[in-house]
Amino acid sequence: IQEREDLARWKTGELEQRSEERARILFAGWKADEEEIIRSDAVRRSQSVTRGKITEHLIPYFPDFPYNPKDARFLGSPVDLVVFDGLSEDTIREIVFVEIKTAKNPSLSRRERDVRDCVQEKRVGYKLLQIVPETEG
């Protein structure tokens, strides 16, 4: 009877040990697969962001850009470009804030919407800051 009980305990222990080992192996495989998926997705997103940033810089040189590229100034944030339409001709006709989106269904960030709203509601100003250096006395 004691031998049977010992044998049963041994079998139970072996089964538990093998089950735990199998679970560790399966988990390690799943984890490796998931990490690869996450890394691939991160690379894809990074490449997309990089392409978008390059495009933002190049848009003024595309044939269908409606302004003279010499009049465009890249900001990047909170808007991509400010166009001083006519600057290259020494007569500024209009100042245009330009946000560039490369996505099929673009949406503006909160800051981009805030800039758009300020411009549309004519909450735009101009201020001259004159900095006068102190003279040595």
CB 60 within 8 A of CB 69: yes
pTM of the model: 0.65
Q: In the chain, what is the straight-line distance between the N-terminal and C-terminal CA atoms, in Å? A: 108
Q: What is the pLDDT of residue 83?
A: 97
Per-residue confidence in pLDDT tens, the chain, 137 aa: 888 888 889 899 999 999 999 999 999 999 999 999 999 989 888 888 888 788 888 999 999 999 999 999 999 889 999 999 999 999 999 999 999 988 788 899 999 999 999 999 999 999 999 999 887 65
Strands 72-74 and 94-98: unpaired
CB 111 within 8 A of CB 78: yes
